Amino acid sequence: MSKKPNIILIFTDNQQAATLGCYGNAEIHTPHLDQMSRTGVTFDNAFCPNGFCSPCRASVLTGLLPSQHGVHSWIDDRQKDKWPRDWHALDGLDTLPKALKREGYTTALIGKYHLGQPTSPAQGFDTWVTLEAGHVRSFYRNKIFENGETYEQTGHSVDFFTEKGVDFIEKSAQQDQPFFLYLPFPAPYGHWPATKEKDENRHSARYADCEMHSIPRRGLSKAAVDGFILRSNESSEALDFSMLMRAPNDLATLRNFYSQISMVDDGVGRMLETLNRLDIAEDTLVIFTTDHGLSTGEHGFWGHGAATMPSNLHRAAHSIPMIISHRSKTPEGLRSKLMVSNMDVFATILDCAGAVAQDPKVPSRSFRQVLNGADPVDWGDDAVFSEQEETRVIRTAKWVFFKRFEGANAQLFDELYDVENDPCESSNLAEDPAYAAIKASLDTKLSAYFEKYAIEEADLWRGGHPIQHSERKAFWRAAWGDQWAPVFGYDQACSE
């Protein structure tokens, strides 16, 4: 049997694909990722299953939709003092580190976690180095939890986790077993207070005079204002109107955001250099992606899919980078148009490692054959499916359809866009009779998908409950009654 590959999964925090040079951005400095794209496989149509950090990380680690694993929103670590001891949102589910350990891998999480208590390792991880804040508040001055030890780390978090990742690779390369490194950088993030910090990194000067033409300057949309009002009404603390509403026009924020992307690029370069120095590049599969996209002013809002009301997954908040390299194994410079989700990373990694998911209803699909230069077999519809609480999405190369939950005393409208002829998704065709058949077909596929995969406990559209947090608590109580509330977990249908 051939040797199982080492696997490095590099994650960023809040980044649409269009913020990288290899995806067409002329203002950003990302030489290592651009080189990785030129020598590996780049997916031009990669998307996320949700517009929030925690749900997407849960989907990558389990291969499941939010309506299966139950994490529908960001885990609110402002409440962590009230959480159960050693609580982790994915306990009871089969995850990448657990599945890979069954195949003899040594495993590590080094970076941002944001799926439960950071103080103790989640199931399946041998090495555990993370920061206290899942909701990033600073790129500097973070409390670190490392394998039972707690200490303060004042330097830049990307550099810190990069060096910890290098150390793990160096030690693992001396062992007679493959390794899995999950390296989720807590950058570029894109939100205040982190991107409002005055601390300068080594790339700050590079963007000091950048005109930032790659960031659209637009007025606020009504949906963005409605989303802000909704969150303000449900938040336990005052929200900063200036961050949510002014960020796309705040040059200092935009330049800092780009500098953090270049910091991440440096980290990727260090990973690749380490593999070359240790002569294990041909033995190591490297995947670079992110949790979800980030609208940087497109459609009149800044942030994730739930930054508006109703939620959306327009391309800026939905599109993600996906670049994969396995030297001498992957086709050089391949650009794939296949519609993929970062949820598909789960099945792809297991396929490359010769592992099998324990749950037969995992919607994650393996695109390993693309990495071998072939078209995937049994891919099904070339589409991706996503959900953002009251909004469900099907996206194909031709269409994107947003289906809205009916009920909760709210009048929400569906949206349909011809992305082939309207790439900016500006002309809603959902109520145009000429497109009724297209809408009905997409609606049928979307409903069938969630009917097949969603489980009742986690399906918000059937009265299910999210794990730990929801951005739409009042909305769902209007639909399902005053007793409806988020939970800390339930007996998982996909448990071991």
3-class SS string, 34-78: HHHHHHCEEEEEEECCCCCHHHHHHHHHHCCCHHHHCCCCCCCHH
- Domain map of the chain by residue range? 6-382
Long-range contacts: 438-446, Cβ < 8 Å, 24+? 438/399, 439/401, 439/414, 442/394, 442/396, 442/399, 442/401, 442/416, 443/401, 443/403, 443/414, 445/381, 445/383, 445/394, 446/385, 446/392, 446/393, 446/394, 446/401, 446/403
**The predicted structure's pLDDT at residue 410:** 82
Match domain 6-382 to its CATH number in 3.30.230.80, 3.40.190.10, 3.40.720.10, 3.30.70.141: 3.40.720.10
**The predicted structure's pLDDT at residue 79:** 86
Residue 446 CA to residue 381 CA, distance in Å, equals: 11
Place of tokens 């230069």: 373
Cβ count near 432 (within 10 Å)? 12
Residue 447 exposed, middle or buried by CB count within 10 Å (0-12, 13-18, 19+): middle
Q: What is the DSSP letter of 143?
A: E
**The predicted structure's pLDDT at residue 242:** 58
Residue 292 CA to residue 387 CA, distance in Å, equals: 12
**The predicted structure's pLDDT at residue 232:** 73
Read off φ and ψ for residue 106, nearest 5 degrees: -95, 140
Q: Which of 215, 249, 325 is nearest to 281 (CA)?
A: 325
Number of residues in the chain: 496
**The predicted structure's pLDDT at residue 328:** 87
- Write the DSSP assignment of 333-368 as a string of letters: TEEEEEEEETTHHHHHHHHHHT---S-TT------H
**The predicted structure's pLDDT at residue 493:** 41
Look up residue 462 and give its two tokens: 């059937």
Look up residue 441 and give its two tokens: 């077909």
Residue 63 CA to residue 91 CA, distance in Å, equals: 14
The whole-number mean pLDDT for each consecutive block of 10 residues of the chain, a chain of 496 residues, reads 86 96 98 98 98 97 97 92 92 96 97 96 97 92 96 97 98 95 96 92 97 88 82 67 72 95 98 98 97 92 89 95 94 96 97 89 95 86 96 98 91 96 96 98 98 97 96 94 92 44
- Residue 321 CA to its chain's centroid (Å): 10
**The predicted structure's pLDDT at residue 496:** 35
